Amino acid sequence: MVGPECAQTGRKQAAAVPSAHLAPALDAIGAGAYVVDAQGCVLAANSRAEALLGRPAAELAGRDAHDLLHRGPQGQQLPATQCGMRQAFHAGCPAQGGDEYFEHADGSLLPVSWTITPYDAGDQGAGTLVVFYPRRPAVGAGTRPEQATGTLTDFERLALLADTTTQLTSTFDVDEALRRLVGLVLPRLADWAVIDLITERDEVWRTVVAQADGDTLIRHEDLEGPMPPVPEESLMPLSKALRGIASALAGPDTYRGTPDSGITAEQRRLFESAGLHSAAMVPLRSTRDVLGALTLGRAGKPGSFTVADLPLLEDIARRAGLALDNARLYQRQRKVAETMQNHLLPQMPRVPGLQMAVRYLPAPDASQVGGDWYDAFTLPDGATALAVGDVVGHDLEAAAGMAQLRNMLRAYAWAQQDPPSRIVDRLDEAIMPITDVDMATLVLARVTRTDDGQWQLTWTNAGHPPPLLITRDGLADFLTDGHGLLLGTGVRTRRPDATVLLPPDSTLVLYTDGLVEKPGQTLDDGLGRLRRHAAALAHRPLPSFTDQLLRRVRPPGLDDVALLALRTPARQGGSPVPSGGE
C-alpha cells in the first residue's frame, strides 16, 4: 500500500548500477526479487523468485508483472486500480504490504508479503525493485514467537535487506559503501558498528568505529587503525569471524579472561570503551575470500543479540561483502588506468624565462583514462611547441589513440620547420590510414623569442576551444583566430595560422572542453565562466592559478580535463625567471 508519507518524502533516487551487476545483486537477496522498468515490465528476477513462482527468469523477462502475476483472493484478474503494489509503483516511493496474491505457474495462488523501492537499473533506466516472500499464517493468540533483532517486524527486516541491496550495489567507492552500511544498521539494529577489513597485504585494519547517538552517527577515530594479526588457533568470536569460520555472539564475560592474542585485547578495549553489553560478529565475505568482519554492539540499546539474529546479520554482511569486493576491484582497475594515463602524458621541458604548469583530471565516473592530452617540447630551432588535444572517447581505446596522435605530432613538428598549420595538415592526412583515431581536436602552437626580447605565439586551431590569454592586470581575451576544421573529417582545406605577442607577466591557458562544457549550459556560458575566473586569478603564482582555476571552473565529474598554462617573465630583457614543468 502507499502510505501517507510518500507525499512527504517523494521519490528516492538511487545511484546508477550497471546492468551487468543487476542479476548478481538480486541473487544476493534471500527472498524472491525482481526488477521492473518504468512500464512495469520485468527486467530480471532472482532464482528464489523462479522457485516461488515456478517460472524461469526467461519467462518472466519482458512480461508485465501485474498482468502476469497479480490476482485477487479467488484467483481472478486484479484490476490495476485495486492493486496496492501498482499504486505504490506509480507513486514512485518505497512501500510495503501483506495482502496480495501471485499466481504460480501451475495456476495455484501464492499469498505474499512484499516491499518495493525505486531502483536504478543502470543502462536499463529507472525501475522498481520488488522483494516478496510467502505470507506466514497468523500467529495464535496464545503464542509468542521469538522476535529476532529486537523489535524489527518481518516487513522491517525485509525492507532492511532491500535497502541494503539497493544502497550497497549502487556505489563503487569503498568508503561510501562503508558509510552506507553503517547508516543501514545504526540505530536500527545496534548503537555501535565496527568494521574490520583485511588489506591486500593480509593485515587487519579497524576501518570504522561508529556510534549512534539518536539519529546522529559519531566516528571514534581513536579506536580505529591497524590491528594485531589474527591467530589461526584462536576460538574468540572476532578471530573466528575474520577467518570466515563462523558468526558469533559476545558479551562482557567473553573478554574477562586473559586475552589469547593481541586482537582479542583490542576487542576487549572496544567493549570497555563503548560499554557494550551484547555484540554479534559476522564475516564479510566475497565470492573468493574473507574481506573482514562486521561487529554490531549494544550499549544503551536494550536487549541482547540472540542466535535468531544471526541469519539476518549474515544476510546483510553477505550483501556488504559482495559490494565491497566489487568496489575494490573497480578502484583497483581505476588505479591501474590512472597509472597508465600518467605514463602516457609527458613531463614539461624547462624553458629559460617561461613558467609552465600542467594538470590532468580524469572524469570520476568514466574509466579513468581518455583522449584528452597536453604536450610541450623544444624544437630544433629553439622554439617551444605547445599542444592540447582531445581524441573522441573516454576509454582505453581513446587513450591509445591519443598516444598515437601525440607521438606523430611530435615527429612531424621535429622533422618539419614549418608553421603549425602545415604540421597539422600533415597530421590530418595521416590520421585515417595510420591511426585508430576517428576524430580529434587540437591546438598546436610555437612560442619563440623575438629579436627585441619579446615572446611570440604562433598557433593553429583544429576545431578546439580557443586559447585564453590573461594579462597581469586581469584583461582576458580568447584567441579566436587561426581556427579550422577538426581532424579526421576527410575534408582537405588550407589551415590558417595566427600570431600574437605575449605581454610581460601574462598567462596563456590551453585546455580541453571538459573545463567549459556542462549539460544545460551553452558553450558561451562555460567560456564566460572561464574568462571571469582566470581574470580574477591572474595575480596568483602559476601553480596556485592553475589549481584554483580548475577548482572554480570545472563542472563536477562530467568529463576529463587536460590543461596547460604558460606564463611569460615579468620583465622583458631582464634576468630570466626560474622555471620548470610541474
Q: What are phi and psi of 389, to 5 degrees?
A: -150, 175
Predicted confidence at residue 444, as pLDDT, reads: 97
Q: How far apart are the first and last CA of the chain?
A: 60
- Enter the DSSP assignment of 200: T
DSSP, res 309: G
Helix or strand holding residue 196 (H, E): strand 192-198
Compute the C-alpha angle 511/512/513, nearest 5°.
Answer: 125
* 171-344: CATH, from 1.10.3720.10, 3.10.50.40, 3.40.50.720, 3.30.450.40: 3.30.450.40
CA pseudo-torsion sign 283, 286, 287, 290: negative
Sign of CA dihedral 549, 551, 553, 558: positive
Rounded to an integer, what distance in angstroms lies between the CA atom of residue 472 and that of residue 506? 5
Residue corresponding to grid cell 568514466: 366
SS3 category, 311? helix
Q: Are 274 and 297 in contact (CB under 8 A)?
A: yes
The pTM of this model reads: 0.49
Cα 375 to Cα 3, 213, 347, 571: the distances in Å are 59, 53, 8, 26
Strands 483-484 and 455-462: parallel
Give residue for cell 595521416: 430
pLDDT at 459: 98
| Cα(385)–Cα(577) distance, integer angstroms | 19
- The class that CATH gives domain 345-567 is alpha beta
Which residue has 500467529 as its cell numbers?
139
Return the pLDDT at 337.
56
User: In the chain, which residues fall in CATH 3.30.450.40?
Assistant: 171-344
Whether the upstream peptide bond of residue 187 has omega within 30° of 0, thus cis, is yes
Taking the mean position of all CA atoms in its chain, how far away is CA 508? 33
Q: Where do you find CATH 3.30.450.20 in the chain?
A: 1-144+154-170
pLDDT at 350: 87
- From first to last of the 582 residues of the chain, give the pLDDT tens digit: 333 334 333 333 333 344 445 666 677 676 788 988 888 899 888 888 898 999 998 899 889 999 999 988 888 888 877 777 877 777 777 777 767 889 999 888 888 888 888 887 666 677 888 888 787 543 333 333 334 455 577 677 777 888 888 888 778 888 898 999 999 999 999 999 999 999 888 899 999 999 999 889 999 999 999 999 999 888 899 999 999 988 989 988 898 889 999 999 999 999 999 999 999 999 999 888 899 999 999 998 888 998 888 889 999 999 998 888 888 877 776 665 555 555 556 678 888 999 999 998 876 554 445 678 899 999 999 999 999 999 876 555 666 777 788 889 999 999 988 999 999 999 999 888 777 778 899 999 999 999 998 999 999 999 999 999 999 999 999 999 999 999 988 888 889 999 999 999 999 999 999 899 888 888 999 999 999 999 999 999 999 999 999 999 987 656 788 999 999 998 644 444 433 444
Asked if 364 and 557 count as a contact pair (C-beta separation under 8 A), the reply is yes
Distance from CA of residue 519 to its chain's centroid?
19
For residue 523, give the C-alpha cell.
558553450
Other CB atoms within 10 Å distance of the CB of residue 425: 21
Maximal C-alpha separation, the chain:
104
**Which amino acid would we find at residue 485?**
L
Residue range(s) of every CATH 3.60.40.10 domain in the chain: 345-567
Distance CA 508, CA 456 (A): 12
* Domain 1-144+154-170 classification at class level: alpha beta
